[in-house]
Chain A
């Protein structure tokens, strides 16, 4: 069964600090892995997308890594801001987007 597990479930950090969110998956065959940011009451917004051959991708202060051998990904947020407070969802697809498997998300709270 395809599964995506994220950790930690929730995280509280101070503004300006860095943090790293983890995603482990068992989806096979693997097509791509995406990180989304979901603000409360809003739809998920794509941050990064990585295919099998990519192991690092950055989007501003967000840097995602992918280890396709160990089936692990991380999302690193640098110099956090209050607006980074949101749920971060890891989504893995076995085909070209298609029916994707969603993680439960990590709820990040950035405090002043």
Chain B
């Protein structure tokens, strides 16, 4: 299955700025996820999104974060006021609705965010 496109591949921003990361998945997928990976650390779950609603979120996903799929295609992660500790790789992931795709998380190539 082809990788989903994530944009930008790398973004450098100043602390306090808003950042929007985008994921363009295959249109028939319903389940979407955002994960992040701080350099040298493990992949961490941020949020899951189903049927245009957040279905679950981690404690990392605080009020500074939001997700939406405004036009049925792009799936976005917004960080309202970036902090230094938001510097990480952010991965979009998705899975199918029916077996066997329902069991497999497929990841995008990631967006690297650097907050200065």
Contacts and interface: CB of A to CB of B under 8 A. Distances in A.
A99 B43 contact: no
A46 B56 contact: no
B3 A97 contact: no
Nearest to B58: A99
B112 A96 contact: no
Main secondary structure of the interface of B (DSSP, over half): strand
Interface string A19-57: 000000000000110101000011111100101000000
Contacts of B106: 46
A91 interface: yes
A42 B102 contact: no
Interface string B42-59: 111100100000001010
Given A97-B95, A102-B42, A46 B48 contact: no
Contact of A45 (B31, B48, B107): B107
Contact of B104 (A49, A99, A104, A105): A49
B73 to A, nearest CB: 19
A3 to B, nearest CB: 12
Contact of A105 (B42, B93, B102): B42
Given A102-B44, A104-B42, A96 B103 contact: yes
Interface residues of A, number: 24
B104 A42 contact: no
Contacts of A44: 43, 91, 107
Nearest to B91: A43
A98 interface: yes
Contacts of A100: 45, 105
B42 A43 contact: no
Nearest to A42: B109
Given A41-B89, A104-B42, A98 B112 contact: no
Of B31, B89, B105, B106, which is in contact with the most chain A CB atoms at under 10 Å from its CB?
B105
B48 A99 contact: yes
A89 B104 contact: no
Interface of B: 3, 31, 42-45, 48, 56, 58, 89, 91, 93, 95, 100, 102-110, 112
